[in-house]
Amino acid sequence: MDQKEVLFDYILHLADNSMIIGQRNSEWCGHGPVLEQDIALTNIALDLIGEARSLYQYAAEIKGGNCTEDSLPFLRDIREFRNLLLVEQPNTDWAYTIVRQFFFDVFHYLVNKDILDNSNDLRLKEIAAKTIKESTYHLKWSSEWVIRLGDGTDISKLKMQTAVDDLWDFTGELFILSETEQKAMDLGFGADLKKAEQLWHEKVKEILNEACLTIPSTDFAQQGGKTGIHSEHFGYILAEMQFMQRAYPGLEW
C-alpha cells in the first residue's frame, strides 16, 4: 500500500464506523421510548451520517474517477466495509443501543481528539474539529443514559448489565490495530490507539462505576470488521441501505 492507499483505506474505516452506527440509530426514528429521546438519538444519527459524508467526500477525491460520497456507502459489498463489529450490532433494545453508543462515543471522541491534536493531514483535522464538538455532546448524552439506566430500577440495571456483557466482546477490536491503522499512525495522520486505549478504559470504568454496573472480566475480543470480516447482520444492513442504488443503478435522486 502506498501512502495514498493507506489514507484512503483509513478514511473509509472512520467513515464506515460513523455511517453504520448512524444507519443503526436511524432505525429508531419514530420508535423511541419517549419523544425527547427519539429526537436526541435522531440528532446523533444526523451528526454521524453528516460526518461520514464529509469523510466519504474526502475519500472520493483521493480515489478520483467515478468515486463519489454515494458510491462508497451504496456500491461497495460487505467485504469492502472497514467498520468495527460493534457499530453493526443490532439495536435489540434501548439498553443495547445506549451501551453500543457509549462504547463507540468514548472511542470516537478519543480518535478525533488525537487526529485534531496530532494528525499531519489538514483535511482530516478539519473534519475532526467539527466532529469533536458533536461527539462531546454524544458522549455526554450516552454517559448520562448509562448512569440513569444502570442506577435506575432493578429491571433497567439487569438490561444494562446484559447489554454491557454482550457488547463487551466487540470492544477489544477497537484497539487491535489493523495494518492500515498501524501505517496511518506511522505516517503521522492516523490516531494513536495505544494512548486512546488507556483513556478509553479509564472513562468506561468511571461511567460504569457510577452506573453501578460491572465491567466484564473477560478480555476476549471478537474481531474482523476492520478487514471486512463482518457479522451476518451486516448483509441485511447493506441490503436495506443499498436497495435503491442496486435496483436503479446510475440514476440521480
Partner 1 sequence: MEINLEEQFQAKIEQEIKIEPRDWMPEKYRKTLLRQISQHAHSEIVGMLPEGNWITRAPNLRRKVALLAKVQDEAGHGLYLYSAAETLGMSRDQMLEELHTGKAKYSSIFNYPTLTWADMGAIGWLVDGAAIMNQVPLCRTSYGPYARAMVRVCKEESFHQRQGYEIMLTLCKGSEAQKAMAQDALNRWWWPSIMMFGPNDDNSPNSAQSMKWKIKRFSNDELRQKFIDVTVSQTEILGLTIPDKDLKWNESRGHYDFGTINWEEFNNVVAGKGPCNKERLNARVKAWENGAWVRDAATAYAEKRANKKNNSTEAA
User: Which of 198, 224, 75, 50 has its CA nearest to residue 138?
Assistant: 50
Grid cell at residue 83: 467498520
CB 13, CB 108: distance < 8 Å: no
Count of residues touching partner 1 (by CB under 8 A): 47
8, 56, 107, 189: residue in contact with partner 1 (rule CB under 8 A): 56
CB 191, CB 127: distance < 8 Å: no
50, 172, 216, 228: residue in contact with partner 1 (rule CB under 8 A): 50
CB 117, CB 54: distance < 8 Å: no
Closer to partner 1 at the Cβ: 5 or 206? 206
Q: Cα-Cα-Cα-Cα dihedral of 95, 236, 54, 137, to 10°?
A: 0
36 binds partner 1 (CB under 8 A): yes
9, 16, 69, 134: residue in contact with partner 1 (rule CB under 8 A): 69
155, 176, 215, 229: residue in contact with partner 1 (rule CB under 8 A): 155
**Residue 182 CB: number of other CB atoms within 10 A?**
13
Cα separation, 84 vs 147, whole angstroms: 24
Q: Where does this chain touch partner 1 (CB under 8 A) — which range of 133-141, 150-158, 172-180, 193-201?
A: 150-158
The least distance separating partner 1 from the CB of residue 42, rounded to whole angstroms, comes to: 4
35 binds partner 1 (CB under 8 A): yes
Cα separation, 1 vs 209, whole angstroms: 43
Which residues of this protein are in contact with partner 1, per CB under 8 A? 23, 26-27, 29-39, 42-43, 45-46, 49-50, 52-53, 56, 69-70, 73-74, 93-94, 147-149, 151-153, 155-156, 159, 240-241, 243-245, 248, 251-253
